């Protein structure tokens, strides 16, 4: 009955064992192939290099491709894993796997500490800090000679023994690292369609929208960076066992750039891109060797050309073409729970804002505004451009810290709560300038809403998909479920944004100029949509310029001017208030007189 790109209605991440048989088969094939392949010497080395580098590059897929954070220290994490295995087996005579585990733990710890220290700052701090970390590690590896053997490097790195079985033979070891590479690839691939993976991509595409959709942005970035450091160390540890000799220059800044190039060349948003990129950059120099002196120039030029003409990488190019053939989603889903109730306005206060202030330097964008939004009502916030409406919503949703005042939501003081926690408390919003996750599909965008912590369906992946589809049904966008949001028209992106908010079963919905940028037909549709929502008793605060829309749906209006509240009350009273007419409408409107 259902087609969801061949995954069933319940879509990505629904069944944790889905794909397991194929995965086991892939590993078995790779292991047997590697064990009995005639690869010797040179080819063996190339395969080992590609497999271990690929694991490190897969770490970059997570931190850069999924989460959008630039890390320029992947070679350093690779080096930590490699030195842990080398020094552990050579100097401390511990088991290979124990040494590898120590390296992985140490690398993950460094990743967490660096991430915790810098990722709260946003911007490019992580890039800068990872460059420094990379340089420091190279200095330590080179100069702490008693411990690291210095520039001479470490020789005779051991290969593992496990329960008496030796991986010493080249092909046997190759089988081990290829199996590891396959497992890491599958892990990274599955992560993308998981709740955590979606949160990472949401953070990459739009941090503000992620935070007001209930995602802990800082925490998500730290986890992404931590996992990438762990994968880097796994790749490095296996690399050390493969080549049996390591030295500091193999883990230098330049190598971090090589790993980054591999990721970008293949297509950094997909694990398969990482594999394609890694294999290409390992093989390309080998193929070009016959060019002798001009080899480096041709190599550099090829990489640049691929990046210029295929900005999504080699795999991204293929992937974009495959996406066009995705089938639509069919099948029945239960409607939004909201639709089961019928609404009526009550006197119960839901959102109580007292003397709220937000100053930007000397500018009082919001200047002591109080208002009360009551359950089941549509409360309009109007006022001329620049009167502080958006700033008001930004303070209420936690994007800006209040300069003064108090915000109470459903009886709880939320004045200092983080944006994602306000969303988890049931406060959802849309943006004047649409904020959707452009690199994700329509369905994925709305799933982010559905799986916000605290939502009734959040812990059931199947129910999350069903809820997202129900929200898309409500805005009549299900047919576009598998399209990339970035490819949609402006009006449709608005609907996706509204569906994302609705899927989170919000208690109260804040809409900042939802009609902005819509054409006339779309405005009429939006008006109908708001009336339907109101009919089901959702509490809504709406900012809009379109007085027709406001008059049609509002139960209550608050007017701002220069950050101050100049009127508040029933629509007919407010709209005929002389101050409001002077400030906002300019002159009494003609049809009112009629």
Please give the residue ranges that form the binding site for Mg ion (CB under 5 A): 389-390, 432
- Side-chain-side CA neighbours of 404 within 13 Å: the count stands at 11
200 or 366: CB nearest ligand ADP? 366
121 or 305: CB nearest ligand ADP? 121
Work out how close the CB of 419 gets to ligand ADP at its nearest, in angstroms, rounded to a whole number. 15
Work out how close the CB of 541 gets to ligand ADP at its nearest, in angstroms, rounded to a whole number. 13
Instruction: Name the burial class of residue 593, with classes exposed (0-12), middle (13-18) and buried (19+) by CB atoms within 10 angstroms of its CB.
Output: exposed
Work out how close the CB of 515 gets to ligand ADP at its nearest, in angstroms, rounded to a whole number. 14
5 or 558: CB nearest ligand ADP? 558
Q: Which of ligand ADP, Mg ion, none does residue 387 bind (CB under 5 to 8 Å by kind)?
A: ligand ADP
213 or 387: CB nearest ligand ADP? 387
Q: Which of ligand ADP, Mg ion, none does residue 213 bind (CB under 5 to 8 Å by kind)?
A: none
Q: Where are the alpha helices (DSSP H) in 144-247?
A: 145-148, 170-192, 195-205, 207-211, 217-243
Going by C-alpha positions, the residue among 234, 236, 217, 187 that lies closest to residue 62 is 187
Token pair in block for residue 449: 């809403």
Work out how close the CB of 377 gets to ligand ADP at its nearest, in angstroms, rounded to a whole number. 21
Binding site for ligand ADP (CB under 6 A): 360, 363, 365, 383, 385-391
Work out how close the CB of 391 gets to Mg ion at its nearest, in angstroms, rounded to a whole number. 8
Cα 374 off chain centre by: 34
191 or 542: CB nearest ligand ADP? 542
Separation of alpha carbons 313 and 555, rounded Å:
52
Token pair in block for residue 152: 């001479």
Contact 123, 68 (CB under 8 A): no
Rounded to 5 degrees, what angle do the CA atoms 383, 399, 557 make?
25
Q: What's the longest Cα–Cα distance across the chain? A: 95
Work out how close the CB of 437 gets to Mg ion at its nearest, in angstroms, rounded to a whole number. 22
Token pair in block for residue 130: 């990872």
293 or 385: CB nearest Mg ion? 385
Q: Which of Mg ion, ligand ADP, none does residue 439 bind (CB under 5 to 8 Å by kind)?
A: none
Q: Which of ligand ADP, Mg ion, none does residue 539 bind (CB under 5 to 8 Å by kind)?
A: none
Q: Which residues of 245-260 are buried (b: 16+ CB within 10 A; e: fewer)?
A: ebbbebbbbebbebbb
Q: Which of Mg ion, ligand ADP, none does residue 383 bind (CB under 5 to 8 Å by kind)?
A: ligand ADP
95 or 432: CB nearest Mg ion? 432
Q: For residue 407, give every residue at least 6 positions away whose Cβ sits within 8 Å of its Cβ, in sequence order, or none.
A: 351, 352, 353, 354, 356, 395, 396, 413, 414, 415
Contact 343, 351 (CB under 8 A): no
Q: Which of ligand ADP, Mg ion, none does residue 368 bind (CB under 5 to 8 Å by kind)?
A: none
122 or 300: CB nearest ligand ADP? 122
Work out how close the CB of 368 gets to ligand ADP at its nearest, in angstroms, rounded to a whole number. 14
Closest residue to Mg ion, Cβ-based? 390
Work out how close the CB of 516 gets to Mg ion at its nearest, in angstroms, rounded to a whole number. 9
């Amino acid at each position: 009955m259902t087609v969801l790109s061949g995954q069933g209605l319940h879509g990505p991440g629904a069944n944790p064992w889905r794909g397991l048989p194929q995965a086991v088969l892939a590993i078995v094939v790779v292991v047997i192939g590697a064990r009995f392949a005639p690869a010797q010497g040179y080819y063996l080395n190339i395969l080992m290099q590609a497999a271990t580098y690929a694991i490190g590059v897969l770490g970059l897929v997570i931190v850069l491709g999924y989460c959008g954070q630039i890390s320029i220290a992947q070679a350093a994490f690779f080096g930590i894993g490699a030195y842990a295995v080398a020094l552990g087996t050579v100097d401390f005579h511990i088991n290979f796997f124990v040494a590898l585990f120590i390296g992985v733990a140490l690398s993950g710890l460094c990743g967490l500490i660096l991430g915790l220290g810098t990722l709260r700052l946003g911007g490019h701090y992580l890039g800068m800090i990872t460059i420094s970390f990379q340089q420091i590690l190279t200095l330590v590896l080179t100069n702490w000679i008693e411990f690291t053997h210095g520039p001479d490097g470490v020789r005779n790195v051991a290969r593992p023994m496990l329960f008496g079985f030796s991986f010493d033979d080249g092909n046997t070891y190759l089988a081990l690292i290829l199996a590891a590479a396959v497992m890491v690839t599958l892990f990274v691939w599955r992560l993308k369609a998981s709740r955590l993976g979606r949160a990472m991509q949401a953070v990459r595409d739009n941090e503000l929208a992620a935070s007001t959709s209930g995602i802990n942005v800082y925490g998500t970035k730290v986890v992404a960076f931590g996992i990438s450091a762990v994968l880097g160390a796994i790749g490095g540890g296996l690399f050390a066992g493969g080549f049996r000799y390591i030295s500091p220059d193999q883990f230098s800044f330049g190598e971090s750039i090589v790993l980054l190039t591999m990721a970008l060349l293949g297509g950094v948003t997909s694990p398969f891109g990482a594999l394609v990129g890694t294999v290409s950059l390992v093989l390309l120099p080998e193929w070009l060797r016959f060019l002798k002196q001009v080899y480096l120039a041709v190599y550099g030029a090829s990489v640049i050309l691929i990046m210029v003409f295929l900005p999504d990488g080699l795999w991204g190019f293929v992937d974009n073409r495959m996406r066009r053939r995705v089938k639509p989603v069919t099948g029945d889903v239960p409607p939004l729970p909201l639709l089961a109730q019928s609404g009526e306005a009550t006197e119960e206060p839901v959102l109580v804002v007292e003397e709220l202030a937000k100053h930007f330097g000397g500018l009082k964008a919001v200047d002591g505004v109080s208002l009360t939004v009551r359950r089941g009502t549509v409360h309009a916030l109007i006022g001329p451009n620049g009167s502080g409406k958006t700033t008001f919503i930004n303070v209420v949703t936690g994007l800006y810290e209040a300069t003064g005042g108090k915000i109470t939501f459903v009886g709880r003081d939320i004045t200092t709560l983080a944006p994602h926690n306000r969303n988890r408390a049931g406060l959802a919003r849309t943006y004047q300038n649409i904020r959707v996750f452009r690199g994700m599909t329509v369905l994925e965008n709305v799933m982010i809403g559905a799986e916000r912590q605290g939502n009734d369906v959040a812990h059931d992946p199947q129910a999350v998909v069903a809820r997202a589809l129900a929200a898309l049904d409500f805005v009549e966008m299900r047919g576009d479920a598998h399209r990339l949001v970035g490819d949609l028209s402006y009006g449709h992106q608005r609907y996706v944004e509204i569906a994302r908010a609705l899927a989170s079963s919000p208690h109260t919905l804040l809409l900042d100029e939802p009609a902005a940028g819509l054409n006339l037909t779309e405005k009429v549709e939006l008006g109908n949509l708001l009336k339907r929502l109101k009919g089901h008793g959702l509490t809504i605060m709406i900012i809009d310029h379109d007085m027709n829309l406001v008059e049609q749906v509002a139960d209550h209006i608050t007017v701002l001017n220069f950050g101050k509240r100049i009127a508040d009350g029933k629509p007919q009273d407010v709209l005929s208030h002389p101050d409001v007419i002077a400030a906002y409408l300019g002159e009494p409107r003609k049809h009112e007189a009629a």
